[in-house]
Chains A and B, each alone.
Chain A
């Protein structure tokens, strides 16, 4: 049915996608890679119009324009700190689109094509899960709802019942492909998606985005199977495989299993923190005290966290580091794999402030250096330097690899308040006698610090 030239064109587009993912492996070629991917996508759409000669051309083109405007405006307007939730949202609408396409495909699936019917059922169910899961993820990251795990009595039972119901409806759909059964399956999928993400704690949400991303990829692959379209099959499978691997990498960085992240709260052992503010004494200092500590150090390591990005203080931090370097202080940035809210998120945020790559050092590379470091400056980070991950087996983050900030001579925290971090766990390091706290908004504190540094 599809002409040969179109098949070859789809092959070219598929190769574009592979090259794009490959090129993303190096900062030098990443941007070109993304453009190649976009070119492949445009090519695929043009070929589709030419080869399938779709009816309703005008409404389709109008829908394309609406989607393009929405996508461009959304991605241009968003703040860099809000990137994770935007990716979640884009993933959600992709999953939703896949589920809708699969619902409509049902009309074309004949009852003897069992495999195609299975693929359709899979796409409807998983696409709906991906859509509603992504929406809940978005509301958590945007802090429109609590970032803490949400559970209610009976959730596990309801969850398992929904999954069984989904499977039963899928079987029904395979034996008798009717649209209304598909719609019912879609609704069950939406419910499963919500129940899947609600119990996940704030700090673990990015891992869920990655997982849902992989889900959506697989639904696109299944759609490709049903439509006999090799491009959808290849592109979807690529994303499914890549997303699965990325999810595992992210979970490894936090020392957790994906299973534990998803179902930990339900079983009662996840990132549920105490969430209370402790009354224990801490040592707090003024900008001048901290400036002296920094200015007369030989070696300083900066640990940036999400708080830095929220305060939009990256540029001020870079100015501070340049001032320190001009005084002969050796400064490095220690980047925890999940600093920010996604792996590599902090690198993006610091790159935005034009901090040179060479100063950004990854956890495994820099962790041995803390012993010989005079001062560690923790800006808006908390959980990634919490020694509880190493020392206290009862802590929810126990086992997560952390930056060994506690091995340095002195530690300085720039914090807004004593409120615990995103994971909601108390940090012993704050009460250590070698620790000094400078309270305030990160940008404010850094500006004062910079001014004080110039006078000492």
Chain B
């Protein structure tokens, strides 16, 4: 039971951290933020690897591998696309350099 309470405590505290961290994000960055948060939940990949790696059943393994593929697409794609968006938010310095090319 104490482990359940510990996990519940982590859950509640993390919820507050999530709200607190986000409430200060400028609306300019809402789209990259959504995309970044989206990439973070791709960490379900960890769960997919654990479940797939622990099984002896072929069916479970196949479904688990499918979950690994989906979760990887979520995670990798999410971070790459967020980076692509943010790449465009260059400072004035970087922009000048490009104009001089």
Contact = CB atoms under 8 A, between A and B. Distances in A.
A309 interface: no
A236 B55 CA distance: 24
B44 A223 contact: yes
Given A24-B33, A71-B75, A229 B46 contact: yes
A63 interface: yes
B31 A104 contact: no
A78 interface: yes
Interface string B31-44: 11111111111111
Interface string A91-123: 101101110110111011000000100000000
A249 B72 contact: no
B49 to A, nearest CB: 5
A344 B31 contact: yes
16 contacts: A35-B83, A44-B43, A55-B54, A56-B52, A59-B52, A67-B73, A90-B74, A94-B74, A221-B14, A224-B47, A229-B46, A231-B43, A243-B37, A344-B32, A348-B85, A352-B88
Contact of A34 (B56, B76, B82, B95): B82
Contact of A66 (B31, B44, B69): B69
Q: Which among B43, B63, B84 has the greatest number of chain A C-beta atoms within 10 A?
A: B43
B53 A60 contact: yes
A119 B32 CA distance: 29
Given A60-B68, A75-B77, A343 B49 contact: no
Given A38-B83, A90-B35, A238-B21, 9 more contacts: A25-B21, A31-B83, A67-B70, A75-B78, A87-B38, A220-B44, A237-B14, A249-B27, A344-B33
Contacts of B38: 87, 90-91, 94, 213, 216, 239
A97 B78 contact: no
Interface residues of B, number: 81
Contacts of A354: 88, 90, 95, 98
Contacts of A351: 88-90
Contact of A232 (B18, B36, B44): B44
Given A48-B49, A241-B22, A101 B34 contact: no
Given A97-B44, A101-B51, A210-B34, A75 B84 contact: yes
The 6 closest A-B pairs by CB, nearest first: A54-B53, A67-B72, A241-B18, A71-B77, A71-B76, A94-B74
A76 interface: yes
A68 B68 CA distance: 10
B22 A97 contact: no
User: Secondary structure at chain A's binding surface: helix, strand, loop or mixed?
Assistant: helix
Contacts of B65: 56, 59-60, 63
Contacts of A224: 7, 47
Contacts of A321: none
B30 A104 contact: no
Interface residues of A, number: 111
A74 interface: yes
Contacts of A75: 77-78, 80-81, 84
Interface in A4-50: 13, 17-18, 20-22, 24-28, 30-31, 33-35, 37-38, 41, 44-45, 48-49
A239 B14 CA distance: 9
A386 interface: no
A70 B77 contact: yes
B49 A52 contact: yes
Interface string A161-174: 00000000000000
Interface in B1-51: 3-4, 7, 10-11, 14-19, 21-51
Contacts of B17: 18, 238, 241
